[in-house]
Amino acid sequence: MIGSYERAVEVLREAQTVAVTGHLRPDADAVGSVMALTLALRKLGKTVTAHVGQPGDFSANLRTIPGAEEVLPSTSLPAEADLIVAVDCGSLDRTGSLMEEFTSRRSLVIDHHESNPGFGTDNLVEVAESTTVILRRIIEMLGVELDRDIAHALYAGLMTDTGSFRWGGARMHTLAAELMDYGLDTRQIAVDLLDLTTSSSLQMFGRVLSGLQVREVGEHTAAILIADIEAIGGQPNSAVESLVDFVRALEGTDIGVVFKEQSRAVWAVSLRSSTIDVSQLALRFGGGGHIPAAGYMTAGPREAIVTEFLSALSQTP
């Protein structure tokens, strides 16, 4: 663990005006964490704004998380905020267009990624099933009573980051049971965040999956998907991010990789494995994440980025 719960709670108590941000291309743990902390701090009488570090909007399904309509795609944070908080941001670059804010202002980082070095003025980094798991304890230590909206936000992050409770320990089930006691419609939350799709997204899956590559290098066999702009253009981020689930555990392979083109020749790369520490592989490219799930950014022609990945994989035990 980096930092302590006690210090994080002290920093939050001292602040009067707070800006909370999640990572760029946010998922439900990012938006759920932003809103759970925002709503909790407001119960303490603090002025709080909610952000993600990117200029463009995020996936519409995340707007089903209570209060998420307040989360502003942002390239700067309010000057009057005496504390800025990054939640679920595994490294400085994951704050996106808000990176400079975290190099020059008083900040608190709350995160659950193993590879997070702690880039804030104060940090609370603990390996956990989701960042919302950490925030549940913080909210309790702040003396804030849960309500249905906060419980929904916490549950959204917990359910999605554990793959619908497939990955994690006993505490994820204990926390889920506690949150469900606030009257959550867990079936609808799952539909909103995981199940709902469109015909155009299904067609996009077909285009990308038809180009599946299985590549052997050294002791490893990788399942590779390349999702270029032509294939994924106009699709919601939630659909694009779900591509990695198709190669997460493909028979005969030990690592799944998806290259997602963000702008011309700029790629976000998702890594998944049950046998390789992909966080260490991602760190070679300036990224990070968890042992079984990580990612990084890279740039170049599609052949070159695949080659550089395979070269790094060949050196991975």
- Tens of pLDDT, residue by residue over 267-295, are 999 999 999 999 999 999 999 999 999 99
Structural contact between residues 249 and 256, judged by C-beta atoms closer than 8 angstroms: yes
- C-alpha distances (whole Å) from 308 to each of 68, 269, 298 are 38, 12, 10
pLDDT, position 245: 95
Structure tokens at 117: 């070095």
Residue 87 has pLDDT above 90, yes or no: yes
pLDDT, position 178: 98
Stretch 206-227: mean pLDDT: 97
**pTM exceeds cut of 0.75:** yes
Q: Does residue 300 sit in helix, strand or coil?
A: coil
Structural contact between residues 291 and 301, judged by C-beta atoms closer than 8 angstroms: no
- The alpha carbon of residue 307 and the mean position of all alpha carbons in its chain are separated, in whole angstroms, by 26
What residues pair up with 257 in beta bridges, in sequence order?
Answer: 224, 271
- Taking the CA atoms of 133, 138, 141 and 142 in sequence, report the sign of the dihedral they define: negative
- C-alpha distances (whole Å) from 191 to each of 29, 126, 195, 212 are 16, 29, 5, 27
Stretch 109-130: mean pLDDT: 97
What residues pair up with 201 in beta bridges, in sequence order?
Answer: none
213-217 and 83-87 beta bridge pairing: unpaired
Q: Give the confidence band of 234 by pLDDT, cuts at 50, 70, 90.
A: confident
Stretch 158-179: mean pLDDT: 96
Residue 227 has pLDDT above 90, yes or no: yes
Task: Read off the DSSP letter of residue 274.
Answer: S
For the CA atoms of the chain, what is the radius of gyration?
Answer: 19
The percentage of residues in the chain with a pLDDT greater than 70, rounded to a whole number, is 100
- CA dist., res. 139 & res. 176, Å (int): 16
What's the mean per-residue pLDDT of the chain? 97
- Structural domains in the chain plus CATH codes: 5-194 (3.90.1640.10), 199-314 (3.10.310.30)
Stretch 111-122: mean pLDDT: 96
